[in-house]
Structure 1
């Protein structure tokens, strides 16, 4: 299935089923830079007419997109399971979220605040309006193949921008299916898909009027620098080395269940997955046992079952990285606290690894220094609350930190002191709310923009003065 003509033969996109790599969902030639350029040009030509239809018509179109996605709910959930290995229950939840996103942004234009002021002297009006940038270039990842494009495309479109999406190669089939659904709802060239590899993303980032990127920190930095050199707004969503802190007064059984789910869910590949568990000294023995119990029912399994929590990893390379990190930690003196390292799942046809929680991992090991995408995490001990905060903040660019405690004062203190975009108290690190903005701490790339903040990102402010004619 090709969205564009003229695809070049040196950029082949192949999408495999992670639970059965012999099952190839899609194989096509990725876009050339010239093809991406033509797509952006078509989007630029379509943008004035899309803006001119008015906010009500754009809102109605977004409502229809939500209805169309809802009608295809089970088909699309099955596609998510097949293409990216997302467990069925979670795939259904992603579709429900995607539908809610389109419907939510459909109503925002009527609610968006606009300021009206009196001039400093004399009669007239001073007001502000939000105006679209033009063409939005969306470079998306495979982690949420339908929800992630939705929470960027929906606000961009309803604000009057047109959109070109470069999906991750691993999620190309999902992106093309989304485009097919939207084709019957919105005008031609208002949303286009540009499949391909890094060269497609680089070309799109160099041409679009506003850029949103989801992926690695290194590439995100390059995207922001390229956009800044052109004076173009850019936002990025990158991974976090997220920590869960457990204090002695926590409900340990509940904390362990939340933490285990956040380590293993979607094979530990979410950007909000827990990678470090930090326990204050006195709670450690009880937490160890609770985590062992919680992990017992969370082994990797076929994502097509409703019982599955941990499915396959996205690729063989991803699986190999997890196995290497785990085994090198064990070779360095770490030991397994919970989970399985006997490699039974690793012999399966799919890219499976059983979840594992390690203890006594050396401080300088990769698992303590950077995020490894997979169902592997590290448990460490600290002496007190202050030590727990310092340990949580030592991680590289945490997206989320969780704190498990029954002490309200400590919870409120942690909210102020934890360097994370989101702090979740007595909850897993996973589970970002699309209704609220999520802004990264101490990171020049800055954003996971949501809710009204997204509307602001995809528009610029125009100040208008309306003054009466002065007689000659």
Structure 2
């Protein structure tokens, strides 16, 4: 049997996990087991499911430092950010531990005559989840916890680069057998999961996401897909340039830019260009690629060798086309898959850096004559998840927010940031289907049923 092998991106010789790869038969067996377990899970009722999810939160909190160390080692997440992710993971489980008690429908007046007209939301059965490596604990949690809260069982196929984190997360959750099952595997396992689940949620690349949507919608089952974005930051001339540069450096270099909400295009409006270019290049130069286990590290390694080669190749072709490197531009002088945080200007029109998500500590700086031109640049993308606007004028910032094609807009803050109790999703090709997180997730993992109750008549 083939294996899924996960390596430490900061030390490629360090094998973190090697586990058997699930194929079609193994995934089908996991789905069958989940379908059987779901009946007992639903029968626990709201109180039972709430108690179980609360216990999962407590177990994750108790194992926090173990999980932090595992995330640092397996996906190269800087330790400070790993601590934040573990804390958020526990908080998400705790948040959804209250969801079983949320209203599950509404009561309406009948159109005519006596009786009762109501809607009820009920779980689909088995939720198939396909998750990426960049948030190896939080993303599986923000998909699984709401699905479980409303009574589904879950089969999770994590990224091969984050399999150890997913397996440990499921083990710590401590749910009844079959209620939360992890199936490590590649494309075959993913296809089998889409073919057998009752509802599917995916986060990952655009190409894979489109195939997931096609497969699930072809079966007529609910599907949501989050596929990242080419996110823009707009900096107005009246902005606090030093603050904006600090926010942008964090959004470009934080976790080596490996967030779907990271900034990859910086648009400087009018007179903001020169001071911003100087301040941002300086801020990125003070954010070196370093050991993710070091407390001060912001930018760790990229996830693997192919990712690093794709990034450095894009930089090389941009420079060959006339681009100028304002910061970084080269591999870090250390073992592992490290790229120094990079800022480019004068990137030639049509270059892939202006049209594709590269998922690394790399951004391009673009000029815009005025706000209208900046918004046109920002919206000139096939997929936009998050955007940021930096200005001292609330009127200008809100006007920009109204005109930006993005699912999340942050004003005077980094584009990279998510509030787990609010809807999460992008615009255009960044997302498909219903929003994730918050109460929106509870609706996605349930189907609405309309029930009419009429009098039985007189005896």
TM-score calculated relative to the size of structure 1? 0.95
User: 1:69 is matched with which residue: 60, 67, 89?
Assistant: 60
Q: CA deviation at 1:471?
A: 2.1
Asked whether 1:211 is paired with 2:200, we answer: yes
2:24 is matched with: 33
Conserved 8 A contact 1:163-1:191: yes
Asked whether 1:162 is paired with 2:153, we answer: yes
Q: CA deviation at 1:123?
A: 2.6
Conserved 8 A contact 1:73-1:95: yes
User: 1:149 is matched with which residue: 121, 129, 140?
Assistant: 140
Q: Deviations over 1:262-288 (max 9, x none)?
A: 000010111011000000121111111
Q: How does 1:339-378 map to 2 (within 5 A)?
A: 340-341=328-329, 343=331, 345=332, 347-378=333-364
Asked whether 1:410 is paired with 2:396, we answer: yes
Q: Deviations over 1:300-330 (max 9, x none)?
A: 0000011000000100111111111111111
State the alpha-carbon separation in 1 of the partners of residues 428 and 364 from structure 2.
24
Q: Deviations over 1:432-467 (max 9, x none)?
A: 111111232234724541111100000011112222
State the alpha-carbon separation in 2 of the partners of residues 369 and 237 from structure 1.
18
Q: CA deviation at 1:395?
A: 2.2
Q: CA deviation at 1:202?
A: 0.9
- Structure 2 residues not aligned, in runs of 5+: none
State the alpha-carbon separation in 1 of the partners of residues 104 and 27 from structure 2.
35
Asked whether 1:320 is paired with 2:309, we answer: yes
SS in structure 1 at match of 2:388: strand
State the alpha-carbon separation in 2 of the partners of residues 112 and 166 from structure 1.
30
Conserved 8 A contact 1:39-1:164: yes
1:248 is matched with: 237
State the alpha-carbon separation in 2 of the partners of residues 413 and 208 from structure 1.
43
Q: CA deviation at 1:239?
A: 1.3
SS in structure 1 at match of 2:358: coil
Q: How does 1:218-257 map to 2 (within 5 A)?
A: 218-257=207-246
User: 1:449 is matched with which residue: 425, 436, 444?
Assistant: 436
2:278 is matched with: 289
1:84 is matched with: 75
Bigger mean CA offset, 159-168 vs 185-194 = 185-194
State the alpha-carbon separation in 1 of the partners of residues 147 and 450 from structure 2.
21
2:295 is matched with: 306
Asked whether 1:277 is paired with 2:266, we answer: yes
Conserved 8 A contact 2:226-2:425: no
1:96 is matched with: 87
State the Cα RMSD in Å.
1.3
2:11 is matched with: 20
Aligned residues between the structures? 458
2:171 is matched with: 180
1:6 is matched with: none
2:407 is matched with: 421
Q: CA deviation at 1:120?
A: 2.3
SS in structure 2 at match of 1:453: helix
Conserved 8 A contact 2:49-2:100: no
State the alpha-carbon separation in 2 of the partners of residues 284 and 102 from structure 1.
43
Q: Deviations over 1:119-151 (max 9, x none)?
A: 223332211111000000000000100000000
State the alpha-carbon separation in 2 of the partners of residues 141 and 313 from structure 1.
14
State the alpha-carbon separation in 1 of the partners of residues 428 and 367 from structure 2.
26
Q: CA deviation at 1:159?
A: 0.4
**Shift in alpha-carbon separation, 1:88–1:269, aligned structure 2, 3 A:** same
2:326 is matched with: 337
Asked whether 1:109 is paired with 2:96, we answer: no
Q: CA deviation at 1:222?
A: 1.1
SS in structure 2 at match of 1:115: strand
Bigger mean CA offset, 281-290 vs 317-326 = 281-290
Conserved 8 A contact 2:384-2:428: no
State the alpha-carbon separation in 2 of the partners of residues 84 and 324 from structure 1.
22
**4+ runs of 1 displaced by more than 4 Å?**
none
Conserved 8 A contact 1:439-1:446: no
**Shift in alpha-carbon separation, 1:423–1:61, aligned structure 2, 3 A:** same
SS in structure 2 at match of 1:136: strand
State the alpha-carbon separation in 1 of the partners of residues 388 and 368 from structure 2.
16
State the alpha-carbon separation in 1 of the partners of residues 385 and 108 from structure 2.
38
Bigger mean CA offset, 347-356 vs 55-64 = 347-356
Q: CA deviation at 1:113?
A: 5.5
2:248 is matched with: 259
Asked whether 1:436 is paired with 2:422, we answer: yes
